[in-house]
Structure 1
C-alpha cells in the first residue's frame, strides 16, 4: 500500500510540474516581447524628436542668416511700414464712413498719453529759433506775458467800479473807456526801456572779413543782405554765379 501510494503521488506530481513550466515560459516570452516593443517605441519617438530638432535648427540658422544679410535698420523700417499700412487702412475706413480721420484718431488717445507726447515734443525742440518775424513776435509776446504778475487788488477794485459792465455782452461798448493808472504806465515804460537796452547789448558787431564779397553800400544794407542770404541764398546762388560770369540768360 505504501509503494502504490508513492507511485500515485509521483504520477500526480509530474503533470503538475510540467504545466507550471509551460505557463511560466510563455509569460516570460510575452513580457520580453512587451519590453522590446516599449524600447522600440521609445527609440522611434527619440528618432522623430531628433529629426524635428534638426529641422527647427536648420530653419533658425536659415532665418538668422537671412536677417544678417538685411540692412541694419530693417526691423525699424519693417515696423514703420506696418504702422503706415495700418494707418492707411484706418484712413480708408474713415473715408468710407464719411468721418474725419484726425478726429477719430484723437478719440483713441488718452489724456496722459497726450500730455506725455506734448512734454516730449517740447523737450525735443524747446527753442525752435528764428523762423520768421511773425513767429518771433509771437514768442516775444508769450515771453512778456509770462513776466506779468496779476494785481488782484486792482482787479477787484475795477470789478466794483464797473459793476455789471465788468462782464461785457454783445451790446456792451467798452472800447476807449479804460484809463490806465500812472503806475501801470510807468511799468510799461520801464519794460520797453529794458527791452531796448537788452536789444542793444545783444546786437554785437560781427568780425569783419576782408576776403568776403562786397555787395552792400552801408552797414544797414549789409545786415539786410545777410538776412536775405540766410533765407534765399540757396535759391539765388546759381543766379549770382551766372551774373558774375556773365552767362546769365
Structure 2
C-alpha cells in the first residue's frame, strides 16, 4: 500500500509539472510567473490532452522503429516496409506508451477495493485542473474588485463624490496602463490610490486634513481596498525568475 501511494504521488507531481510547463508556453511567460487554482472535477480534460499528444508521439516513434527494423531485415527490398512487421506489437503496449493507464489500474484488472491490512481504499489518481494566472490578469481582477467596492460605498463613507470619482479614475488609469503593458506607470497610479486608503491600515484611523487625506472614511472598506491594491503592487513589482544559464565549457 505504501509503495502504491508513493507511486501515485510521483505521478501527480509529474502531471502537475507537465501542466505548468504547458501553461507557461501557452501564455508565453516564464514558469515562475504562473500560479494556479485547481479543482478536482476538471483536471481530466487537461491531463488527457497532454497524455493524448504524448501517446501519439510515442506510437509514431514506435512505428518508425519497427519500420527501421523491417528495412534492416529485408536487405533485398530496402525501400519496402513489411506491414506484418509493423503490426507486431508487445502485449503490454498500452502500458508502455500511455501514461494515463498508470493511474487507472482498474482497466488492467487490478483491485481497487479496500486493502487487507488497514482497510484503506486504493483509488486511481484523481485528475485536477489548473488555471494559469499571470501577473497582469491577477492585477486586473484585483483592481476590478477594488473598483466595485469603491463604487458601492454610500455617501457617508466617502469624503465627497468628486473624490470617489477621482479614486475610480486612478484605478481605471492603472487598468489601461496594464493592458498596454506599462507596468511601472500602472504601479504609480495604484500608489496614488493607496495613499488615499492607508490611514486605517497604517495608523488605525482615517487620515484627516492634509496632503495625504484619506478619501474613504470607513475603515472596513479601507482595509478591503488597501489589501487588494497592495497585493497588486507586490505582484507586479516582483521580478520574473530567469532560467539559470550554465557557462559554456
TM range (shorter): under 0.3
Whose strand proportion is higher, 1 or 2? 2
- The structure having more radius of gyration, on CA atoms, is 1
- In the superposition, the TM-score normalised over structure 2's length comes to 0.20
The structure showing larger relative contact order (alpha-carbon pairs under 8 Å, at least 6 residues apart) is 2
- In the superposition, the TM-score normalised over structure 1's length comes to 0.20
